[in-house]
Amino acid sequence: MPRTHPADQRVPISVLASVDPVLRDSAVLGLVVDSPGTVALRHDILAEEGLVRRVVVDASGVVEQVLVPLEHACLSCAVREDALPTLAALTEDGRWTDVIMALPVSAESLPVTRALAGETVRGGVLDGARIATAAAVADVETFEHDLLATDLLAERGIALTPDDERSVGEALSAQVEHADVIVAAGEAAAAPTGSGLVDRIRAEDSARVEGLHGMTAAELAAGRHDPVRGERRANPLGARRSPARAPRATGDRSWTLELRSDRPFHPERLLDRIEDLGTGRLRSRGVFHVVDRPLSACLWDGAGGQLFIGDLGTWDEAAAAAAPHTRIVVVGSVDGDVDRHVADDVRHELVDAFHDALARPEEIADGGLSWLGRQDVLSPWLGSRS
């Protein structure tokens, strides 16, 4: 017979993500020291050694430190094989009122909350627990560089696997965009552009707290993470427009540009202009369709000088009632040494490249049927055309 737990007695589990090991560990230390009822589970993937380091800490110090063989070199597998049973043991131990799961540095929180959601149901491994808060810790003073520069995780020694080719910006943006709460470390007044970029990419329904120790373990535990809302935040269809929040701080050089059309891209012209649209000091994400793939919704995801495009499935599968459209939201900043007019030119060039890559009305007058027999130049990135 499966165990049952009253909803108000389930143990809260909060997930903490960061691209900075010092910030992550400092945040965890501050949270457990100030809360004797809190226990933290921290994982580090030691890919070259083929190991996962599991550390459990609470206010009294290190409770457990174990090296576990990594059977599969992926985070989701590590979650299933080590974190889930460990979390189950911690939530059932009785010594602690809440748990913080500190992810490996650069790991994204969405796959983890997705795995936890599947096990916090009745009869699941974690049916005595619930997901409280997905939090991201980010340094506003380095945020502009971390998000927009071309640094790779491997160059900083924080790649999850030997073949992890993600940029720092890709990992960071995924963490912040999915989070319920963003802990903004550093001095926002000293980095108005970095602070502004945090607000431009975080979800509209997320919360922001100032300072590395601006949130307590009790506040994290009081949260109620909604997995459906979390999926929606990470969905490229939900890429945000310019935030309608408080006026920009003095010195904030961040900006947002929304590129939108009901028309699809022309495949050859998209390839011609894709570097103009998708590379450089930009964070861009959204969806698009292509004239020779009339049923396919396609992903656009760019950060850190890299761009990923892929097939999301049909529009009915990917977007429910949404009609096919092309929409890319671009976030960037004006270089401190560049004149504002030059920055305006950058945005104008993006607009020009976007409209040039779109199919013209006469090219789609037949609904794209005349394109179906032509060579599929985007198949290396989008897969075979169905």
Write the single-letter amino acid at 130: R
Q: Catalogue the E-assigned strands of the chain.
A: 11-18, 38-46, 51-58, 61-69, 98-102, 129-139, 181-185, 207-210, 254-261, 282-290, 293-303, 306-314, 326-333
Tokens of 210: 């100032």
Q: What is the pLDDT of residue 368?
A: 72
| Length reported for the chain | 386
Beta pairing, strands 181-185 & 129-139: parallel
Q: Are 383 and 376 contacting, i.e. CB atoms less than 8 angstroms apart?
A: no
Q: What is the pLDDT along the chain (386 residues), one digit of tens a residue?
A: 334 444 468 999 999 999 999 999 999 999 999 999 999 999 998 877 888 899 999 999 999 999 988 776 566 676 678 899 999 999 999 999 999 999 999 999 999 999 999 999 999 999 999 999 999 999 999 999 999 999 999 999 999 888 889 999 999 999 999 999 999 999 999 999 999 999 999 999 999 999 999 999 999 999 999 999 999 999 988 887 766 555 678 899 999 999 999 999 999 999 999 999 998 899 999 999 999 888 899 999 999 999 999 999 999 888 766 889 999 999 999 876 555 555 577 889 999 999 999 999 998 888 777 777 788 899 999 988 76
Domain boundaries, the chain: 9-234, 254-382
Residue 52 main-chain phi, psi, to 5 deg: -120, 130
Q: What is the pLDDT of residue 242?
A: 66
| Rounded to 5°, angle at Cα 251 from 250 and 254 | 110
Which of 35, 77, 76, 79 has its CA nearest to residue 57? Answer: 35
Which of 261, 254, 240 has its CA nearest to residue 354? Answer: 261
Beta pairing, strands 326-333 & 254-261: antiparallel
Q: What is the pLDDT of residue 20?
A: 97
| Rounded to 5°, angle at Cα 103 from 194 and 39 | 115
Q: What is the pLDDT of residue 322?
A: 80
Q: What is the pLDDT of residue 2?
A: 36
Alpha-carbon Rg for the chain in angstroms: 22
Largest CA distance in the chain: 71
Q: Catalogue the E-assigned strands of 166-218.
A: 181-185, 207-210
* Fold agreement (9-234, 254-382): no
Residues 53, 344: Cα–Cα separation, whole Å = 48
Asked if CATH classification 3.30.1220.10 holds for the domain at 254-382, the reply, yes or no, is: yes
Instruction: Say how many C-beta atoms besides its own lie within 10 A of residue 124's C-beta.
Output: 17
CATH for 9-234 is: 3.40.50.300
Which of 353, 346, 310 has its CA nearest to residue 331? Answer: 346
